[in-house]
Structure 1
Amino acid sequence: MAAFTLFACSSDDNANSNSTDDFLNQMKLVQTITNEAHSIKIYTKSGVILTGYNNIYLQIQNADGTFVEDAQINWMPMMYMTAHAHSSPKSAVVKAEGSKNTYGGFIVFQMASHASEYWELTLNYTINGQAFSATDVIQVNQAPNRNVQSFKGTDGVNYVVAMVEPTEPKVAVNNMSAVLYKMDMHDYSLVTNYTIAIDPRMPGMGNHSSPNNQNLTPGFGSFYYGKLSLTMTGYWTINLQVLNELQEVIKGEAITPTNTASSIYFDLEF
């Protein structure tokens, strides 16, 4: 299972001044899920959950205000749609590095919440051998950029690919990372031996590309890592091709004079 990344940010305007864990001074409260025994506080860096890859942190609070330090937690996100329901890719939930009572991992949300279609998060956890569960609806907002794609490959398998970095792109050669999952409704498994080829283009500037890009290949924690070259500010499309372990393209098209975009892509604007 892929590891999740800890982010640092300003403690200004944080919602966690009463937390016993200094780690959460870096985070903002999203919402609290309650059951008969506990209040489970959910945090992200921004205080919202967006489509795509999200680092999410949890803290379990007892009725007396103390925080649980020894829980084993599993989570299950579910999207309930008009005709069917589906889950989403997710990591294990582990103790956050350097923390006493904060747990975390990541979830990739493929789509935003809507009036008649909504996400629900179930938390199953044990404390000293006793089992608990808590469930509530969570709001997933649309990210400003396209950072996740679901597709069926030529092998007949459904996949989800999501961009992890860059979250703050610069005019430079940026570190880029992503996660790739095979999808089967309620079951997702990491794909760790493929290649994600990238071809960044500026559609509004003659669809020009950039030098010194590096395709994404498997690395630490089952993430894919590469280099994304952005030569100017503006709107960029990051065209993708996903290649299997035999280097066969299972989805995505090369950019040519007659084909200006791939059928799978990320985009960003800065």
Structure 2
Amino acid sequence: MKFSSSALFMGLALMATTFVSCTSDDDSDEPINEPVANDLILINSAYTDVGSMLVNIYAADSLMAQYTKIYVEVKDSASNNIITNAAVDILPMMNMGTMVHSAPRENPTSNTATEGMYQGAVVFIMPGEMGWTLNVTIYDPANDVEGTAAVPVSVAQPAVTRTRVITPLDSTNNLIISYLHPQNPKVGVNDMEITIHERITGMNFTPVNDYSVSIDPEMPSMGHGSPNNVNPVSIGNGHYKGKVNFTMTGMWRINLDIYDGTTSKDTTGFFDITL
């Protein structure tokens, strides 16, 4: 079989285009995939004080002193059926013996379970093999019953600090700053996300949405920083998103400057990242 020179040229061009398309490197956003039920591990369980509903606490990994997504499964103890329509409230409590305090939290935004789970989050501000309890209050409208399960959990210290408690420069309420992303950093531009909460009292932590955050990544061992970073901005509920650029592998330090308007709140916070 014979091929014309023009047909051969077009075929080679198509192959080259396909190859380049498949191997091109861009600065696409880091995918942030939510774990499905099969990817989660059971942390602990307890029954509610009223209604005898079984509350199972799941997470993607063992609990650490950092921003942690919590997945709650609720079962009817009589039928063992999963309750997929309920109001769920998660209240973290740390009993230190001489004092009791809570922590920043995000309760499920829907009363409808997804894959049988209600998703929330807790910023565990300190580790504790003992002392932490998740008080999970469930209202089951089908049976018009409300009960609370006290689920003991163990919280370990991560190898690298991912939550910092900051005393602001203007001596106001402490701030809790947590690092979320990137979890799997790469060379190049990465999505970055942190949370900021203000400690009003030991039981009340409020998300802060009106601060200005600037980042200054540096590589201490090499004495240089990086260009093309995008300062995180508020997206609501205490979350701030931006972009951070790592120009080579190694250990990086992301320095944070936090302002409330023109008032400097903190210039000492940082998170270390290793590629």
Whether TM-score is above 0.5 comes out as yes
TM-score (norm 2): 0.79
Which string of whole-angstrom CA distances, capped at 9 and with x for unpartnered residues, describes residues 116-164 of structure 1? x621111111112311111032011112222111112133121111111
Counterparts of 2:168 and 2:119, CA distance in 1: 31
TM-score of the two chains, using structure 1 as the length reference = 0.81
Equivalent of 2:206 in 184, 189, 203:
189
Which segments of structure 1 move beyond 6 Å, counting only runs of 4 or more?
none
Q: Name 2:271's counterpart in structure 1.
A: 266
Q: Distance in 2 between matches of 1:41 and 1:57?
A: 8
Name the counterpart of 1:126: 139
Distance 1:97-1:167 versus aligned 2 partners, 3 A rule: farther
Matched, 1:81 2:96: yes
In the TM superposition, residue 222 of structure 1 has moved relative to its aligned partner by: 4.6
Show the 5 A alignment for 1:236-247. 236-244=252-260, 246-247=261-262
In the aligned structure 1, how far is the partner of 2:237 from the partner of 2:198?
17
Deviation at 1:74, TM superposition (A): 0.9
SS across alignment from 2:38: helix
Gaps of 5+ in 2: 1-30
1: CA distance between counterparts of 2:193 and 2:138? 30
Aligned length: 238
* Partner Cα separation in structure 2 for residue 265 and residue 6 of structure 1: 22
Q: What aligned pairs does 1:143-154 form with structure 2 within 5 A after superposition?
A: 143-154=158-169
Q: Per-residue displacement from partner, 1:3-49 (whole Å, max 9, x unpaired)?
A: xx97345xxxxxxxxxxxxx412322222223461221111122x11
**Shift in alpha-carbon separation, 1:268–1:177, aligned structure 2, 3 A:** same
2:117 to 102, 121, 125: 102
- Aligned pair partner of 1:180 in 196, 202, 205: 196
> Given that residues 42 and 56 in structure 2 are in contact (C-alpha distance below 8 angstroms), is that contact kept between their aligned partners in structure 1?
yes
Distance (whole Å) between structure 2 residues aligned to residue 96 and residue 236 of structure 1:
41
Q: 1:220 to 1:133 in 2, by over 3 A?
A: closer
Q: 1:164 to 1:96 in 2, by over 3 A?
A: farther
Tell me if the contact between 2:88 and 2:111 (Cα under 8 Å) persists in the aligned partners.
no
Structure 1: how far apart are the matches of 2:113 and 2:39? 13
**RMSD value over aligned CA atoms?**
2.2
Whether the aligned pair in 1 keeps the contact of 2:128 and 2:156 (CA below 8 Å) is yes
1:54 aligned onto 2:54 = no
Post-superposition offset of 1:220: 5.2
Between the aligned partners of 2:37 and 2:127, the Cα distance in structure 1 is 26
Kept after mapping to 2: 8 A contact 1:213/1:228: yes
Assess if the C-alpha contact under 8 Å between 1:145 and 1:269 holds in 2. Answer: no
Summarize the Cα distance change of 1:119–1:98 in structure 2 as closer, same or farther, 3 Å threshold. Answer: closer
- The structure number with the bigger radius of gyration is 2
Q: CA offsets, 1:233-269, max 9 Å, x none? A: 222221111111x2321111xxxxxxxxxx2211122
Cα gap change, 1:39/1:139 in structure 2, threshold over 3 Å: closer, same or farther? same
Where do 1:216-231 residues align within 5 Å?
Answer: 216-219=232-235, 222-231=238-247
Gaps of 5+ in 1: 10-22, 253-262
Aligned equivalents of 2:140, 2:32: Cα separation in 1: 24
CA contact (8 A) 1:95 1:101 kept: no
Distance 1:6 1:78, change over 3 A: farther
Q: CA deviation at 1:51?
A: 1.4
Letter in 2 for 1:210: S
Partner of 2:33: 7
